[in-house]
Amino acid sequence: MRESRPLRSWLAPAGLLAAALLTGCGGPPEGGRPPPTVGVVTIEPQPVTLTTELPGRTSPYEIADVRPQVGGIIEARPFTEGSLVKAGQVLYQIQPAPYRAAYDQALGQLANAEANLVATRLKAARLAGLVKLNSVAKQDADDAEAAYKQALATVQQDKAAAEAARINLGWTRVTAPISGKIGISSVTKGALVTATQPTALTTIQRLDPIYVDVTQSAAQVLALRKQMEQGGLQSRAGAEVHLTLDDGSQYPLPGRLQFTDVTVDPTTDAVTLRAIFPNPRGLLLPGMFLRATVIEGVDPAGLLAPQQGVTRDAKGGATALVVDAKGVVELRRLQISQAIGNKWLVTSGLGAGDRLIVEGAQSAQPGMHVRVAPADNVQ
């Protein structure tokens, strides 16, 4: 009778055959494990507003130093330092008596000249008539006409002198040239001031609205202009600007970019950008340091990649894993422009329709087959 083979000797070849059949039919590779599932986000072009944060300082919308136009003793200072004043409001009263006397004297001289003008005009007219009758010498008539013209010139001179005296008298009332907040007064009642003094009596600043001057490197300005000329960006003229105060809080009111200076500062190689902000509560004061977020333009077809799908290699370069049409993981090296919220603006390395892995990347390697599912938790 033949001995039967051990059961183990029959099972071993059967197991090998089953494994071969599974592999040939596309079954689970590598010991029967299925491909890992990854969450992806499909990259699509979209309009992207590009912003940049720049340092800046506030400056008044209008500023005027108040100086005397005539000299004299200050009789009154009818304003409160630090208050709001209106254009034309009297700030200082200089002793007017000497200037009033000079004005009255000028008016008297003018009246005398006008009276003399009447007499010389009548005499010149009378002698001109007598010359036609040969009753007087022609020389006498010519002298009378010259005297009349001289009197006319004297009247014009005296009128100018009277007007100058009136202006000087008016300048004894030193008024506000603009509306705004007035600063500290450098003089008090009883002080002597002169028309040529270098020190201002006080300064008025209009703070609503208020300017914010920020600086940007000339290289960035040129790069933006090139992008605009190539159609990559839409113009930022009149763009909205937001402020971050020195304590980290946000200024509640937005401003508008007004203009970009045409001169580059040779010491900093920077260009000044000026924005204008409403300041109804006076929260912004001249000279404050702050940071302005300026809209550089709008990229009509920007590519944004979630930050959780972008990593850095050993050299600090940005990399990402994408899934191609065959379900194979591919490593991409990216060029990143800036952060837009919680996403990166990608300038190269990704294209429209690419499927970026944002979940399960730790189990995916370049060249590996993966299963794709829409990402659930994209921050």
pLDDT tens across the length of the chain (379 residues): 444 444 344 334 444 444 443 443 434 454 557 889 998 999 999 888 888 888 899 999 999 999 999 999 999 999 999 999 999 999 999 999 999 999 999 999 999 999 999 999 998 888 888 878 888 888 888 888 999 999 999 999 999 999 999 999 999 999 999 999 999 999 999 999 999 899 999 999 999 999 999 888 887 777 766 666 655 555 555 678 899 998 889 999 999 888 777 788 888 888 888 889 999 998 999 999 999 988 777 788 889 999 999 999 888 899 999 999 999 999 999 998 888 888 898 988 999 999 999 998 888 889 999 998 888 766 5
Whole-angstrom Cα distance, residue 322 to residue 42? 10
In contact, 236 and 218? CB cutoff 8 Å? no
3-class SS of residue 201: coil
Q: Positive or negative CA dihedral for 104, 110, 113, 115?
A: negative
Whether residue 173 contacts residue 17, with contact meaning beta carbons closer than 8 Å, is answered with no
Cβ neighbours around 275 below 10 Å, total: 25
Residue with tokens 């919308």: 61
**Do residues 263 and 221 lie in contact, with contact meaning Cβ atoms separated by under 8 Å?**
no
Q: What are 172's two structure tokens? A: 């004894």
pLDDT at residue 260, as a whole number: 74
Domains and CATH numbers, the chain: 50-61+206-299 (2.40.30.170), 68-95+172-199 (2.40.50.100), 97-169 (1.10.287.470)
Sequence-ordered list of residues with C-beta below 8 angstroms from that of 79, at least 6 positions apart, any chain: 85, 89, 91, 182, 185
- pTM listed for this prediction: 0.66
Which own/partner pairs from 27-35 qualify as long-range (CB within 8 Å, at least 24 positions apart)?
Answer: 34/371, 35/327, 35/368, 35/369, 35/370, 35/371
What Cα–Cα distance (Å) separates residue 233 from each residue in 221, 273, 307?
A: 13, 18, 23
CA atoms of 20 and 27, how far apart (whole Å): 10
Residue 258 in tokens: 């007004």
pLDDT at 54: 87
pLDDT in tens, 46-56: 888 888 888 89
> What local confidence, expressed as pLDDT, does residue 140 receive?
85
Residue 298: predicted pLDDT:
78
pLDDT (0 to 100) of residue 22? 40
For residue 259, what are its two tokens? 């203009």
Q: What residues does 376 pair with on adjacent strands?
A: none
